Amino acid sequence: MAMEVTQVLLNAQSVDSTVRKHAEESLRQFQEQNLSVFLLSLSGELAGEDKPVDSRKLAGLILKNALDAKEQHRKYELVQRWLALDVGVKTQIKTCLLQILSSPVPDARSTASQVIAKIAAIELPQKQWPELIGSLLSNIHQVPAHVKQATLETLGYLCEEVSPDVVDQDQVNKILTAVIQGMSGNEGNNDVRLAATRALYNALGFAQANFSNDMERDYIMRVVCEATLSPDVKIRQAAFECLVSISSTYYEKLAPYIQDIFNITAKAVREDEEPVALQAIELWSSICDEEIDILEEYGGDFTADSDVPCYYFIKQALPALVPMLLETLLKQEEDQDLDEGAWNLAMAGGTCLGLVARTVGDDIVPLVMPFIEENITKSEWRQREAATYAFGSILEGPSPDKLTSIVNVALNFMLTALTNDPNSHVKDTTAWTLGRIFEFLHGSTVETPIITPANCPQIIRVLLQSMNDAPNVAEKACGALYFLAQGYEDIGSASPITPYFQEIVKSLLSVTDREDAGESRLRTAAYETLNEVVRCSTDETAAMVLQLVPIIMTKLHQTLEAEKLSSDEREKQNELQGLLCGCLQVITQKLGASEPTQYAFMQFADQIMNLFLRVFACRSATVHEEAMLAIGAVAHATGPDFAKYMPELYKYLEMGLQNFEEYQVCAVTVGVVGDICRALEDTVLPYCDGIMTQLLKDLSSNQLHRSVKPPIFSCFGDIALAIGENFEKYLMYAMPMLQSAAELSAHTSGADDEMIEYTNLLRNGILEAYSGIFQGFKNSPKTQLLIPYAPHILQFLDSIYMEKDMDDVVMKTAIGVLGDLADTLGSNAGSLIQLSLSCKEFLNECLSSDDHLIKESAEWAKMAISRAISV
Amino acid sequence: MAPHDLRRPFKRPAISDQQRRRDLSLLRQKQNRLDAQRRARCLASSVLSFQSEPKPPSQEQSHFELELELEIEPDAEEHQGPATTYDVRQASKLRGTEARRWFAKQLMLPEWMIDVPPNLNTDWYVFARPAGKRCFVVSSNGTTVSRLRNGILLHRFPSALPNGARINNVSRSSQSYCILDCIFHEPDQTYYVIDMVCWAGFSLYECTAEFRFFWLNSKLVEVGVCDTPSTFHKYRFATVPVYNCDQEGLQTAYIGPVPYIKDGLLFYNKHAHYETGNTPLALVWKDENCSEYVIDTDSKGQVPNQQQLVLELQDDGRLATSDDPSVIFGWLNEDFIQKTGLHAGNLLRFAVNDGGLSFVDGKLEKADLQYLGQSNRARAFADSYSKVMFQYIVRHSPLKIEHLFASIGPLGDGDIASHDVEMAA
């Protein structure tokens, strides 16, 4: 048997696909027939010092995959399956794996490390395998270096896999002690030191208590800082990674070390090899991230109860930090703009400079201006590009007051550079900088406009001219135009874009037709800019927006003509269809927003829907998200006439609702069902059986991403509101579902912020469902069907009120439900309502809310209640 | 354990347009859901029944200006016909006769005070009525329209009312409309808001006056409707000070200074809902001190020697008021009807002769009337009973302000009455 497994594992890696498939099939059968024996033989294979490395590695990999999966549902199944195995079998496998850590073969050790960590991730939370950490650490000082290295690597994986709360502080201390000792300069073996340093990176999350102890923290910090000076570049890089992680995880503990950290990083940025220097810059970027978060959260207003105070490390380091970052800007690589994967010192430095600007605001301007002035006119392109990039980087953060006068001077220079600079790098950065100027300093909220009637024509002319430049430059010019248009979205009828609307649209369309539009994301950028120009257009150009419809339709039609596509071509077709459907969606939404244009749009509705249905038909099993999104806009624009598309559309709706894997598609489809309900009202009835069945299945599935569940509940409300008392037949399915979800979401004790946020989304969905159902049944003779549910709903309102953690949206919806309940049930529920907490304290709290939507709903509820109890 | 990827977004906008498309779609769907919800919440109460009459006499239009002089008269009308219901937003699109009939039906019309209601001091509000044109102000779809109570368009203008002006990019909800009950006061070109019927799509029809006045005062200030006029807010709006009808309140309403010309006092029952047509839960009263127009004038502005009234001729020759049920003031015999060519539905003008009006047990028993002719064609409705009675007692034994004060009393009879009720309960 054992011999056989080796051969099968080797065959499974054969270049001959027939051999490979046959081997894979044998492994699958083996696994299904007897899991215990299968796993045992895999661990035996991995342990076999006489076996080929390739079969050992694959054995370990299959073993690992039998314990964990990315997909949550599958992961759960695998965990349950492992836990259900015979204890003897599991012990045998685990013992075997621990022995492999002493193997002379590095790949075998490393694979075993990972498998051990996976088992630990399953067993430690169950209080099983308590001896694991002890046995790993028991003789770590006496073992040969390669075993020490494997043990530390195992600890590293273990810390990555296991949650800190399932490991005792006592064991954490032991792990950290072993890891720090392995990292220290006394450790002569570099492999051991590297493994220890990488292990520390994962173990940092376990070290809360140790970082609160001054002595222990000092010791850890000293060892980490020393490791950044190691002669081995990998150790230095790993040590800087630890420092980056510490700077965000333990930001509030950094003060005593910040000067040393600056010295170490400055040296690394200037002298060390690029991978190390990049980590050193990243350290400052992550401190910026921390301070930006803190400053945003508290708005600079610190009180005793602020969780984390801001230590203003960036502000203090500014005079030294900025020159260091500016130096990096001059270290550009040729053609970095053409390489999607590029990441170098200049890019990292400029990005960090941008973060520094956001952190400190005005203070950065005087430190950067001399650099810009000195370099922007130099003959060497690197200097001009660096100066421009520095300027572009500091546009977000400082106040418009500080920047406006500088930008006014720079704007002309930039426009000239974009037209005339001989270097494509410089042009790329210049166009990007113009985009940043328009993004941050142009728009209705900015007091002194940068763009005036005098310079606007020139700006547009230069940007449109750049549409013919190299793809990367043209893409940035599109971006600049995007923000230029966006800045006028609130302007009303007198948009300066209006006279150029046609010319802009023409240019953008010709960009999408460029041969090289596939490079540098150019085609996507052009369509996105077109979308924004359309979104921000005014009534004056409505006729031209309408003219775009047949143009985009023709393009979409062309994508449908192509036949026998290769998979690569199919992907491109799919992407292009996405852009075109997206564009049609934006246009439809724009035209559908006002009555006259909505009417004019109707002439195209049949053709558009026909195209969308054909886009759906292009694919076998999945639904095109963008087409679905666009269909929602069409349903909204056409209203009741949409009914004629339903017979053909229905199957795609069903397909979309069944798409658990691409949950965005499912979510979009749920939203579109809502649009259709509002458009069709009770004529949607014939489709409701199918839709409700699918929605109920979605809710019961634990494969579907949880973010889709709240909108599904809201969709119940949309359906009920559309079909009124016909919702009767779904009550027996929907109500228990709502009720159990309500019970789950009533209390949030012990949940983190993210969970509370989700719970509130869920509550809102549930409440919207109740609202829709009550409103749907209003004035119906079947109202009494809802009476049995009233006590539970009132109780739900009371308990979320008592929980005191609902957000404003939930508050508004909840008080509205109280009104709907009173409005629909009237005197039938009068006494019940009077017994509830919600109709007193909660209602009063909402009545005195500052949020006018809450107040409005509360006033409505007050009226409805007074009517219900006065009758 | 390989080094971790530390690349950050470079020269890229952080938000993708695809995400923006999703977000904007979600936003639209949310807004549409909110609209649908609002519509559902308002529907039952804002659909107002409308009795449509198919015959539109086209020339009637030109005479409407004439009715303005009679505008201050609280009248009501009675029309039979197939019932049609319009939502107020649909109604705001009605034109001509349809619009006039619809709007005429929608205002709450106070009766004239011919005796003092009980509990005046506890259950009633009082305020000085501004002199001017009673009208509905409706804001919807980015514009504001005011219509006189005969439906004639007074102004179309932008206002700061919800959905009352076309301000770009505010996502306009078609459901978000307002209806205010106003009096347009010419001298200062101001709309004095005397009641609120719908606010931002929420119907206030079924709310008590107490609640409506509270809301009116807080909401108008909130949205800045009472601010100085500007491009997007053409006319000034103002609220009218409303008092509890106790000694002090009545006194203030009666003689206190107001920025407008007074035309009598209005009394609103605090617990009454907004009821369209004639209601005894809102009352109007005047004397020479608080109104320039106490006794009706003729078309030349002169006070006639004899009281005049307009009654509707019915099928059987009876002469009826506009009330529901109507009050019969007398009969015309068939010969007379044939001779004069009158027919049912005609509005006829009469003078009250020296015989006057006689009452038995508070009910009209006999009226000594003299036929004068058909009324002005612009008149749509006969007089109401309370109006005839008020005009009658003004000429004979007016209900004086002293009577009103007396009924309130220093302690207030109403208080005692309510104590009784409490003890009985």
pLDDT at A398: 96
* B4 in reach of chain A (CB within 8 A): yes
Number of other CB atoms surrounding residue A716 within 10 Å = 28
Angle B6-B12-B17 (CA atoms, 0-180°, nearest 5)? 120
Supply the DSSP symbol for B377: T
Domain encompassing residue B108: 18-285
Query: Could you tell me how far CA A731 lies from the centroid of its own chain?
Result: 36
Could you report the per-residue pLDDT of A730-787, keeping only the tens digit for each?
999 999 999 999 998 988 777 788 888 999 999 999 999 999 999 999 878 899 999 9
CA distances from B21 to A145, A592, B390 (A): 56, 15, 66
B26 to each of A633, A639, A676, B22, how far by Cα in Å?
A: 11, 18, 14, 6
pLDDT at A269: 96
ipTM for this model: 0.77
Task: Compute the nearest-CA separation of A166 from chain B (Å).
Answer: 22
The predicted-structure confidence for A637-655, as pLDDT tens digits, reads as follows 999 999 999 999 999 999 9
DSSP state of A113: H
Architecture of domain A726-870 in CATH?
Alpha Horseshoe (1.25)
Q: Is residue B425 part of a domain?
A: no
For residue A133, the model assigns a pLDDT of: 94
In three-state secondary structure terms, B347 is strand
* Statement: residue B377 has pLDDT above 70: no
Higher pLDDT: A704 or A353? It is: A353
List pLDDT tens digits, range A194-210: 999 999 999 999 999 99
Exposure on the CB side of residue A286, measured as CA atoms within 13 A: 21
Q: Which of B100, B235, B109 is nearest to B160 (CA)?
A: B235
In one-letter notation, the amino acid at residue B110 is P
* Closest alpha carbon to A198 in A151, A165, A257: A151
Chain A nearest CA to B397, separation (Å): 41
The DSSP symbol for B263 reads E
B258, B128 Cβ separation under 8 angstroms: yes
Encoding tokens for residue A172? 């954490």
Take residue A730 and report the two structure tokens written for it: 């779904």
Name the band, by pLDDT with cuts 50, 70 and 90, for residue B421. very low
Q: What is the pLDDT of residue B93?
A: 55
More confident: B180 or B92: B180
The closest CB to that of B40, out of A429, A775, A852, belongs to A775
Radius of gyration of chain A (CA): 32
- C-beta neighbour count of B55 within 10 angstroms: 6
Which positions ≥6 away from A326 have C-beta within 8 Å? A349, A353, A368, A371, A386, A390
Closest chain A C-alpha to B222 CA, distance in angstroms:
10
* A312 phi/psi in degrees, rounded to 5: 50, 45
C-alpha count within 13 angstroms, C-beta hemisphere, residue B21: 33
Looking up tokens 């199919």, which residue turns up? A570
Structure confidence at residue A671 (pLDDT): 96
CB contact (8 A) between residue B3 and residue A275: yes
Closest CA to A798 of A784, A770, A818: A818
Average pLDDT over residues A71-77: 85
The backbone torsions φ and ψ at residue A443, rounded to the nearest 5 degrees and listed phi first, read 145, 170
What region does A95 belong to: left with phi over 0, alpha with psi -120 to 50, or beta?
A: alpha
The two structure tokens encoding residue A52 = 């080929």
- Does B237 fall in a domain? yes
Tokens 């549902």, residue located: A73
Q: What is the DSSP string of B286-315?
A: --TTT-S-SS---TTSPPPSS-EEEEEEPT
Residue B66: predicted pLDDT: 28
pLDDT by residue (tens digit) across A366-411?
Answer: 999 999 999 999 999 999 999 999 999 999 999 999 999 999 999 9
| pLDDT at B96 exceeding the cut of 60 | no
Closest listed residue to residue B244, CA positions, set B124, B128, B129, B130? B124
Number of domains in chain B: 1
* A3 has pLDDT over 70: no
> Tokens representing B292?
């320039």
Report the alpha-carbon angle B265-B267-B271, nearest 5: 165
DSSP B376: P
Question: How much is the average pLDDT of B104-122?
Answer: 84
CA B352 to chain centre: 29
Distance of CA B384 to the CA centre of its chain: 16
Q: Nearest CA of chain A to the CA of B231: how many Å?
A: 14
- Which of A457 and B166 is assigned the larger pLDDT? A457
pLDDT at B67: 30
**Contact in structure between A762 and A770 (CB atoms under 8 Å):** no
- β B363-374/B347-360 pair status: antiparallel
User: Looking at the predicted structure, is the pLDDT value of residue B97 above 60?
Assistant: no
Residue A856 at interface with chain B, using a CB cutoff of 8 Å? yes
**Mean per-residue pLDDT for A814-826?**
93
Indicate the length of chain B as a whole number. Answer: 425
- Positive or negative, the CA dihedral B16, B19, B23, B29 is positive
Q: What is the mean pLDDT of chain B?
A: 76
Q: List, for residues B24-60, the tens digit of each pLDDT value.
A: 888 888 888 887 777 777 643 333 333 333 333 333 3
% of chain A with per-residue pLDDT over 90: 78
Contacts of A674 in chain B (CB under 8 A): 29, 32-33
Q: Is the pLDDT of residue B150 over 90?
A: no
Interface check B37 vs A, CB under 8 A:
yes
Q: Above 80 in pLDDT, residue B62? A: no
Nearest to B104 by CA among B334, B375, B381, B301: B381
What the block records as the tokens of A72 is: 């949550």
A310: DSSP letter: -
Is B28's CB within 8 Å of A589's CB?
yes
Distance from C-alpha of A13 to C-alpha of A749, rounded to nearest angstrom? 50
Strand partners, B145: B138, B156
| Peptide bond connecting B257 to the previous residue in cis, omega within 30 degrees of 0 | no
B84-116 b/e with 16+ CB inside 10 Å = b?
eebebbebbebeebbbbbbbbbbbbbbbbbbeb
Mean pLDDT of B135-148: 83
Element (H, E) at B181: strand B178-185
Cβ-Cβ contacts under 8 Å, B44 against chain A:
778-779
Give me the amino acid identity at B22.
R
Q: pLDDT band at B406, cuts 50/70/90? A: confident
DSSP sequence for A246-309: HHHHTGGG-GGGHHHHHHHHHHHHHHS-HHHHHHHHHHHHHHHHHHHHHHHHHTT---TT-SS-
Q: What confidence score (pLDDT) does residue B77 get? A: 36
Query: What pLDDT, on the 0 to 100 scale, is given for residue B102?
Result: 65
CB contact under 8 A, A675 and B21: no
Question: Which residue intervals of chain A bear CATH 1.25.10.10?
Answer: 726-870
Q: Quick check: is B246 in a domain?
A: yes
Distance CA A93, CA A123 (A): 13
Residue labelled with tokens 């001298």: B187
Distance from CA of A669 to the nearest CA of B (A): 11
For strand B363-374 and strand B133-140, is the pairing parallel, antiparallel, or unpaired? Answer: unpaired
Report in angstroms the alpha-carbon separations of A733 from A689, A694, A711, A716.
12, 12, 17, 11
pLDDT band at A355 (very low <50, low <70, confident <90, very high): very high
Structure tokens at A256: 């005593």
Report whether A778 contacts A770 (CB < 8 A).
Answer: no
The pLDDT mean for chain A works out to 92
User: How far apart are the C-alpha atoms of B293 and B68, rounded to whole Å?
Assistant: 14
Q: Give the C-alpha separation, B412 to A473, whole Å.
A: 85
The model's confidence at residue B80, banded by pLDDT at 50, 70 and 90, is: very low
CB < 8 Å from B in window 304-363 of A: 337, 342-343, 347-348, 351
**Separation between Cα atoms, residue A466 and residue A475, nearest integer Å:** 9
Lookup: tokens for A660:
């658990």
Contacts of A228 (CB under 8 A, 6+ apart): A236, A239, A240, A243, A264, A268
Among A642-646, A809-813, A825-829, the minimum mean pLDDT is found in: A825-829
Q: Are A478 and A511 in contact (CB under 8 A)?
A: yes
The pair of three-digit structure tokens given for residue A25, joined into one six-digit string:
């099939």
Counting Cβ atoms within 10 Å, is residue A32 exposed (0-12), middle (13-18) or buried (19+)?
exposed
Q: Which of B322, B174, B144 is nearest to B236 (CA)?
A: B144
Work out the percent of chain B whose per-residue pLDDT is above 70: 75
Contact A631, A674 (CB under 8 A): no
Between B171 and B124, residue with greater pLDDT: B124
CA distances from A418 to A433, A474, A548 (A): 10, 10, 29
Minimum CA–CA partner of A475 in chain B: B12
Helix axis angle, A233-249 relative to A214-227, nearest 10°?
A: 140
Contact present, B392 and B352 (Cβ < 8 Å): yes
With 90 as the cut, is the pLDDT of residue A634 above it? Answer: yes
The string of pLDDT tens digits covering residues A5-38 is 899 999 999 899 999 999 999 999 999 999 999 9
A727 forms bridges with which residues in the sheet? none
Cβ atoms of B155 and B122 closer than 8 Å? no
Instruction: Tell if the CB–CB gap between A538 and B18 is shorter than 8 Å.
Output: no
Residues of B in contact with A633 (CB under 8 A): 25, 28
Q: CATH number for the domain including B173? A: 3.30.470.30
* A671 contact residues in B (CB cutoff 8 A): 25-26, 29
- B169 pLDDT more than 70: no
Two tokens, residue A556: 């979409």
